[in-house]
Amino acid sequence: MHVHRAVVAAMSVAAGLPSPPGPAQAGAGYCVLPDHSQQSTRNGAYLIDTASSLDWIHPNPPPVSREPTPSERLDFAGFPNVSALDVSGPAQKVIVTFTTNVDKVVTLTNEEAVSEDGGLTFGPSGATPLRESPIELLDGRFFATEYYPARTGPHTATLGVLLSSALEDGESWLRSVATLFTPGDLLPGGAAHGAPVQLADGTILITVYARYAGTGAYQAEVYASADGGVTFERRGVIAEPEPGFAYNESAIAQAMDGTLVAVVRRDGGQYSTLHQSRSADGGRTWSPVRELRFAGQDCVVRGVAPRLLLTPGGALVLSSGRPDNWLTVSPDGLGEEWLEPRVTYHNRDGVWDTHGSSGYTGLAAVGAHRLIQVFDNCKLPGVRPDGMLDETACPAHGRFANGGWYAVKRLLFDVATPGTRLEPARTSTTMRWSSRYRPRTGPDGAQDGSTGYWSSAVAKGRGRYVLHLGRAHPLSRIGLSLRPGHPAGARVYLSMDGRSWGEPVLTIKDRTDHALRYDPIGRTARHVKIVVDPSADCEREIGRRCSMLNEVELYS
C-alpha cells in the first residue's frame, strides 16, 4: 500500500543510539500493570475514578464494523493532544488535535475536533494548523507551537508559533516564525514536543529536544521567551545524553510549590523509559535526572510522550503509554510520589505488548476535579524504503482487542475528594470587575472549576466574597486559590446570621497559589465570607492594586 498523504506525528530519535533489540515481552525490572486496572472506589482522598465510558472522537460517527476496510484504514488519525480553553460561556472549549497521516518527517497535516460540553461529546473533525496543545496566555491570547524547529545556523533555529485571540464560534490562528537561540553547536533534527508553560512574570517556556555536535544524540531542553513568543533562548538543559542513551520527549508543569517538574522519555534500551527532574529557578538549572518510580514498586516505568497536568484541585497527574495507555497521580501536586498507576486503555493483539496504541496521549482539566485523557487506537504507520506503508506496529490481521482502526478516543476521570462539596444558594460580592476582553472574569469565575488566570472574581483594591449556604452546615474544609502565581492574602469568616462574623477562622498571608489549596475549618456556619487583601503590580487594565479570588470550594 503506497503512501498517499504526507504527515508526521513523532520523529525518529535513533541518531547516536545503538540498534534496539527486537520486540519482546516485559522483562524483569520493568513495571507491568494489569491489562484492565480495576476502577477505584472512594475509600481514599486521591483515587482516580472513572467518570464516563469510553467514547470515540474520530471517526465520527463511530464505525459500526469491528474492522476497517482497506480504504478506511487510510483515514489516518493518531498522536492526539487535548486542551481545555476558557472562552465566553459557562463551559470550556475542549479541543482535540491529531495527526492525519504517516509517521514520517514530512510536512504536517492535522485535524481537530471540538467539544462544547466538557469533553462529553465531540463534533466532526476538520483541518487545523495545530499540532501541539495551545495554552491561554496571561494577556488573553491563545498560544501554540508547531512541531519541528528548522536549523538556520550553528546556534539558531526557527519554529512556527500560532496565536489566536478568538476561540468562540470560529478560530483564526495567526502564524509567525520565532527564532530559537542556543549556545551549543546545533545539528539538524529534533522537535518542540509538549505543552508550553507560562510563568507569572509572563515568560513562556517550551520544551525541545535537539542534537549537538559534541554527542550527536538528543537531549531534552527548555527554551524561554520574554517577548510573547517572538524569540526563545535556551534557558536550561533537563537531561543530557548518556553513552548509549538519549533523552527526547519531555513534559513540564508548575507544581503546587511553584517549582517545575519535568518527566522525560529516555531511549536506547529495550523499551523507552521515563525519568524525571525538578527546577527551582524557572528552568535554568535542573536536578540530576532520575528514574521515575511508582510508589511501592521497585521497577522501571516504561513510556513515551509524557504529559503532565496540575489539576485545579491541586493533584498532579501524569499520562503516558507504550505499552498500553495509563495514568498516575501525585496527590500533593509536587510530583515526588506517584500513586495508583492504572491502565486506561489497551489494544493488544497477543503478539507484542507494544503493538496497538502508540502510547501518545493528551491530558487536560475539564473541571476542578475532572480530567480528559485522549489516545489513539493504533499507532500510525511509517513508510518503508520502497515507499510502501510500514504497519508492523498495527498490522491488519484482525487480532486486536479493539479492532484495527486508526482512531482517536477519550475517557473522562474524576479525582476523588474527601467530604461533600457544598453549592451555595447565592453569592454576594464586591468583586465585580469585568472587561469585554475577559469573558470569564466576574463573580462566577470564582466557582467555575477553572484556575485559569482570568477565570476569577476580581476587584480594584480589597475584595469581599460571601457564600450563603441556605442552611447551616458543619464545614470540614475550604479550598481557596487566590491570585495565581503571585503572593496574596485573605481572611475567612463564618456566621450563622450573615451579620455577626467574629474573628477570622483562617488567615492567609503572602501565599502564592498555582491551584486550589485546602484548609480545615471544623465549624458550623450558614454564611462564609472571604476578604481578599489587595496586592500590588496588577495588570494595567485593572489598576495598580487589585484583589483576585481565582477559585473557592466548601466541603462538609
SS3 111: strand
pLDDT at 538: 94
User: Within 10 A of 199 (CB to CB), how many other CB atoms are there?
Assistant: 16
C-alpha torsion angle, residues 377, 380, 384, 389 (rounded to 10):
70
pLDDT at 452: 95
Per-residue confidence at 88, pLDDT binned at 50, 70, 90?
confident
Task: Report the percentage of the chain scoring pLDDT > 70.
Answer: 91
Model confidence pLDDT, tens digit, residues 488-518 = 999 999 999 999 999 999 999 999 999 999 9
User: Within 10 A of 12 (CB to CB), how many other CB atoms are there?
Assistant: 15
pLDDT at 22: 34
Model confidence pLDDT, tens digit, residues 386-430 = 988 999 999 999 999 999 999 999 999 999 888 899 999 999 999
pLDDT at 6: 33
Per-residue confidence at 46, pLDDT binned at 50, 70, 90?
low
State the Cα–Cα distance between residues 279 and 293, nearest whole angstrom. Answer: 18
Spell 84-107 as b/e; 16+ CB within 10 A means b. bbbbeeebbbbbbbbbbbbbbebe
Q: How many helices (H) and strands (E) does the chain have?
A: 0, 38
Per-residue confidence at 50, pLDDT binned at 50, 70, 90?
confident
Which residues are CB-contacts of 383 (< 8 A; sequence separation ≥ 6)?
3, 102, 104, 389, 390
User: Within 10 A of 291 (CB to CB), how many other CB atoms are there?
Assistant: 12
C-alpha 409 chain-centroid distance: 17
Task: Inform me whether the pLDDT recorded for 14 exceeds 50.
Answer: no
Task: Note if the bond before 331 is cis, omega within 30 degrees.
Answer: no
pLDDT at 167: 60
Model confidence pLDDT, tens digit, residues 451-489 = 999 999 999 999 999 999 999 999 999 999 999 999 999
State the Cα–Cα distance between residues 84 and 461, nearest whole angstrom. Answer: 30
Q: What angle do CA 212, 213, 214 make, to 5 degrees?
A: 95
Model confidence pLDDT, tens digit, residues 136-188 = 999 989 999 999 999 999 999 999 999 987 665 456 899 999 999 999 999 99
pLDDT at 511: 97
Task: Inform me whether the pLDDT recorded for 355 exceeds 80.
Answer: yes
**Continuous H helices in 211-267:** none
- Supply the DSSP string of 486-550, one letter for each residue: SEEEEEEEEESSSS---S-SEEEEEEE-SS-EEEEEEEEEEEEEEEEPPBSS--TTT-SSEEEE-
> If you search the block for the grid coordinates 465510558, which residue do you land on?
53
Query: Which residues is 396 bridged to in the sheet?
Result: none
Question: Whose CA is closest to 33, among 250, 344, 276, 318?
Answer: 344
Task: Inform me whether the pLDDT recorded for 2 exceeds 50.
Answer: no
C-alpha 79 chain-centroid distance: 14
Q: Mean pLDDT, to the nearest integer, of 32-57?
A: 72
Task: Report the percentage of the chain scoring pLDDT > 90.
Answer: 81
**C-beta separation of 382 from 104 below 8 A:** yes
Q: Mean pLDDT, to the nearest integer, of 255-266?
A: 98
State the Cα–Cα distance between residues 489 and 481, nearest whole angstrom. Answer: 10
Task: Inform me whether the pLDDT recorded for 450 exceeds 70.
Answer: yes
**C-beta separation of 496 from 472 below 8 A:** yes
State the Cα–Cα distance between residues 18 and 14, nearest whole angstrom. Answer: 8
Question: Whose CA is closest to 76, among 379, 406, 377, 361?
Answer: 406
pLDDT at 40: 53
Phi first, then psi: what are they for 296, rounded to 5°?
A: 80, 5
C-alpha torsion angle, residues 208, 212, 218, 219 (rounded to 10):
-60
User: Within 10 A of 348 (CB to CB), how many other CB atoms are there?
Assistant: 18
Q: Mean pLDDT, to the nearest integer, of 523-528?
A: 98
Question: Whose CA is closest to 412, among 94, 68, 87, 61?
Answer: 94
Model confidence pLDDT, tens digit, residues 118-149 = 999 999 999 999 988 899 999 989 999 999 99
Task: Inform me whether the pLDDT recorded for 25 exceeds 90.
Answer: no
Q: What angle do CA 165, 168, 171 make, to 5 degrees?
A: 60
Q: What is the DSSP letter of 53?
A: -
pLDDT at 381: 92
